[in-house]
Structures are given as structure tokens and as C-alpha cells.
Structure 1
Amino acid sequence: MAEYFNLKKDITIQPFSVYVNQDICLTVTGLGKSAMAAGVAYTQALFTSVQHPVMVNIGIAGHKDHPLGGLFLINKIIDIDSQRNYYPSLTFTPPCPTSSIQTVSKSLPVYDQSNLCDMEASAFYETAVRFTSSELTLCLKIISDNQLSPVGNIQPKQVAGLIKAHLALIESLLTQVVATAASITVSEPKLFESLIQRYHFTVNERMQLKNQLSRWDSITDYQSLEFDNAPFNCGKDVLRWLDLKINNTDFYL
């Protein structure tokens, strides 16, 4: 993957293996939710100046019946430990099949009947959307094991080969999402300045507010928002209200 995108390893970075070019950063996080959450946060800290970062998790997953090598774009993530569900926003017609996935802390002895299974997706998504919008957060999973070829058979070289087979499609997906990011990377979203003057937002909440307002502009083609009659006491109330509005709004494609 590093060779395909002409990425060079940054030898000055120690916590993770990081490969970069002018536009792309590839961070190798390793297995598990903790490693993934740390890797996403660390990567974001390296590029805080990017207004609307595109974040993509490219990894492997198991399934009872799907053949090895199949690529799926994830549209629902189920965290088995917390029983929380996440729904990545897909604002384009996917060029590959979509699927739900369940994230577990350790490999299960029996494959789920309907969902893919991995050990990182929920941590990736939950952390990534703290720094960017759901529309710019993709989770791509390649089938690495099934009931005929269980997880114990997986070899590193095999995984590299499975990913390599899909690099052209992955590049196409990146191009689409980067175009979405470019369309909303503008000056401060409407209402941003007035809202931060009226209500208290922490630094992190201001970042979330900017992303939420940009999301609203993107998915509604800049429809107006009416805040005057909403009962807000603080910035968190505004963010909750915005989240509900966005989740209950149809996309304009």
C-alpha cells in the first residue's frame, strides 16, 4: 500500500509506524480497540491544521460464509462490549458491497451469521468522528477468514496481498470522499461565530460545532437553521440539538 501511494516512512515518529506523502498519512496501529483509538488520535495530533480530515480504516474482518478477499464498505458498526451502534454516513453510491460489522475484544469461536467481525472498527469510528464528520469517515474491511479458513490461518503476507488486490478501488473511494471534504472546506460555517459568542464551547466542542455546521451545509445544500426558540444552556446542548437535526434530515445528493 505504501508503494502504491508513494508513501515514505517517517523515521522520526516512534509510537506508530507512519508513512506519508503530501496528501496521505498511513498509520499502522496494530490489533485491538485501544491501539486503534490511540493511533487515530495520534495521527490527528500530527495534522491539526487540516480543517476537514478524511479518515479511513482499511483492515481485515471475518465472516461465516463470505469468500476470502471480498471488500466491504461498512454501514453499521456494533460494539459487542458496550452494545453501542454506529452508522457511518454514506453520501455516495458505493462501488462495492456494504455490510454491518461487530467489533469484539477477542476472537470468537463461532462466526456471526450476518455481520462481519473484527477487533477495531468501533474504536476507529468513535474516535475519528471526534475530529471530523461522519461523511468523511470510512471503514473498509477485506475478508481474511471464514469457517473454511479460520482466523488462525491468517498470515501477514496474505493480508498484504488481499489489500493490494483492492488498491485501485480504495483510491477511487478516497477520491470521492476527498472531493466531499473539499466542498465543505470553506471559511467559518454560517452561525459559527454567533453561536460561540452566545454559548460556552470548549476548544474540542468548537471543533465539533464547526464540523456539525459544515455537515448540515453539505447534506442540506445550505438550508437555514432556526436556533431562536431552542432551549440551550451551553455548547453541549447546541451540539446535541444539531446532531438530532442532522440525523433526522434527508441527504441532498
Structure 2
Amino acid sequence: MNKNPEIFIYTALPCEAKPLIARLRLKRLVQIKPFAVYCNETLCLTVTGVGKTAMAAGVAYSRALFAGMDTLIMINIGVAGHKTEPVGTAFIAHKIADAETGRKFYPVLAYSPPCLSATVVTASKPQLDYAHDYLCDMEASAFYETASRFATGELIQCLKIVSDNQSAPAEGLDARQVTELIDCNITQLMLVIDELTRLAAHIAPLSPACFDRLCQHYRFTASERMQLKNLLTRWQALTCRQPLPAVDGMTTGKEVLRWLEREVNAVDVVL
């Protein structure tokens, strides 16, 4: 098993993954059973299954398989519907909204995307009325919310390809067409990866002293340690490595994570 992939890609469907597996020469990790996981020397692709729950589980599972990396690129690529945009058009998400919970996420576009950007709204069921001028999918919000526990926001991106619209509704869409849509946009994906790879090189690695000190004083699970690393890395990037405020009055790792997330978000809003 590859111990150190630097790029993590997630698709919901096998037909979305198929052209990526071929073009990137990925090999399946046959010993992995809960999800289909494919790797080469630097990249890990996970096919999660359809829906928010499946995507969240797939992201968390793949990161548990390859724990320990701090600066990671995480990308969700897949198809989405739109009211009027032409089939085959690629978009990077600049806003992701969850139709059920109302939660909103704003991916950081700290690079020049190779395509236009758009809002993606994630719902638990297919949206086939084509009544809104945004992209509709079933996984993006869960991908972003879960990935943000493991990577810094600048390196988490969502690339969606229009697969259906009012003129070409989803009822006529099959797996072969989805594969072709992804295949035609692999160049866009590789451009995003290139941009994020350059960006990752400029993100300073986490200073271990603060992380080690917090881990000595509070108990964190393996997943919580990854969240802690991500939040501390974001704090360093946003504050130019200013010292973290004193951690007072907290007794558990979960309390520390909630406090640190509030501190990081407060700095992000001010900036």
C-alpha cells in the first residue's frame, strides 16, 4: 500500500472514476473492502457511493488509511445538473450549500481556476425540476464538510461537470455518457491539481511544538488529532504564525477543537 499519497480524489460513481483510473494508471488496493480505493505513487482515488452519508464515510475512511500527512490536496469530481448550462461544461465550486441543513461552505480559490466557478447545492434526492440557476448534486456538501477536518481550506476543491439540464434531462443519462463527460474534462482536473500542488508548496508545515503541547495536556482521538493539525495549520497561515491564545478552562480535546475552530473562523472573517 502506498504510504504517502499527497492528492486525494473522490467520486461517487464507478463510471465517474473509470476514466481517471485509466488515464492516471491507478491500481486498485484489493485488500480494501469497504470502498473501492485506487492509487499510484502520489494519488489516491476513492469511489464512495452516492449520497452525503456515503461520501462523508469514504472521505473519513481514506484519510484513516493514510493518516499522518499534513499538507494534502483533496478534490471531489463528479457530475451535476443545472437549469441551463450546456452539458459538458466544467465548474469549480465557489460556494457549496446543503439543501437539508442549510449549512454553507465557501471553498477558497487561492489560485486561477481553469474554468468558471459556480454555486453547488447538495440535496439528498435528485433535483429534476431544473428550476434554479445553480448546480445540483448529492455529495459536495458532505465532501467539503468532512474534508475540512483533514486539510486546509485552500487545498479542498470541488469540480463539477454539467451532465443534465432542461433540454437534456437526467432521465436520458447513462453510465457511458457520465464516463465520457469526466474523460473530456480530465485536463481541467489536472490543471486544478497542478495549481493546488504549487499552492501546497507555499503552505508552511505545522510547527510541532504547539501541537505536541496540546496533545500532552488533552486527549484526542486519531481523527481529532488530524482536525487539530488542520486547525493549527490554518491558524499559522492566517496569522503569520502568531502565538495561539492561552487555552484556559477546557478539560477535553473536543472542547479545545471547538474553541480553536471559533478562533480560526474569527480571524478568517476579519481578513
Give TM-score, length-normalised by structure 1: 0.87
Q: Please state how far the C-alpha of 1:231 moved relative to its aligned partner.
A: 4.8
Q: Which amino acid counterpart does residue 43 of structure 1 have in structure 2?
A: S
Alignment partner, residue 103 of structure 2:
84
2:233 equivalent to 1:227:
no
Distance between the aligned counterparts of 2:131 and 2:188, measured in 1?
A: 27
CA distance in 2, matches of 1:25, 1:7: 8
Residue 173 in 1 paired to residue 173 in 2?
A: no
Which residue of structure 2 aligns with residue 214 of structure 1?
Answer: 233
Q: Specify whether residues 11 and 196 from structure 1 end up closer, same or farther in structure 2 by C-alpha distance, changes over 3 A only.
A: closer
Structure 1 residues 67 and 233, CA gap change in structure 2 (3 angstroms): same
Whether 1:247 and 2:265 are equivalent positions in the alignment is yes
Q: Is the 8 A contact 2:206 2:229 kept in 1?
A: no
The aligned amino acid for 2:82 is H
CA, structure 1 residues 152+10, in 2 after alignment: closer, same or farther (shift >3 Å)? Answer: same
What percent of counterpart residues are identical? 45
Q: Structure 1 residues 113, 238: closer, same or farther in 2, change over 3 A?
A: same
The alpha-carbon deviation at position 101 of structure 1 amounts to 1.0
Give yes or no for contact 2:60–2:146 (8 Å, CA) kept in 1. Answer: yes
Against the structure 1 CA distance between its residues 20 and 163, is the aligned structure 2 distance closer, same or farther, given a 3 Å change threshold? same
Q: Is the 8 A contact 1:189 1:214 kept in 2?
A: no
Post-superposition offset of 1:171: 1.0
Q: Match for residue 116 of structure 1?
A: 135
1:211 partner SS: helix
The gaps in structure 1 that reach 5 residues or longer are none
The offset of 1:237, in angstroms, is 4.2
Matched, 1:155 2:174: yes
Aligned mates of 1:114, 1:165 — CA distance in 2: 23
**Alignment-derived partner of residue 64 in structure 1:** 83
- Label 1:153 to 1:189 Cα distance change in 2 as closer, same or farther (>3 A): farther
Aligned length, in residue pairs: 249
Give the Cα separation in 2 of the matches to 1:101 and 1:186: 31
Structure 1 pair 95/250, CA: closer, same or farther in 2 (3 Å)? farther
Which one of 39, 57, 71 corresponds to residue 52 of structure 1?
71
CA contact (8 A) 1:188 1:210 kept: no
Q: 1:241 to 1:94 in 2, by over 3 A?
A: farther
Counterpart-to-counterpart distance in 2, 1:72 and 1:232: 45
TM-score, L = length of structure 2 = 0.81
State the 1:187 CA deviation. 5.4
Report the CA distance shift for 1:210/1:161 in structure 2 as closer, same or farther (over 3 A): same
Following superposition, the deviation at residue 190 of structure 1 comes to 5.2
RMSD value, Cα: 2.4
State the partner residue of 1:134. Answer: 153
CA-CA distance at 1:212 after TM superposition: 1.1
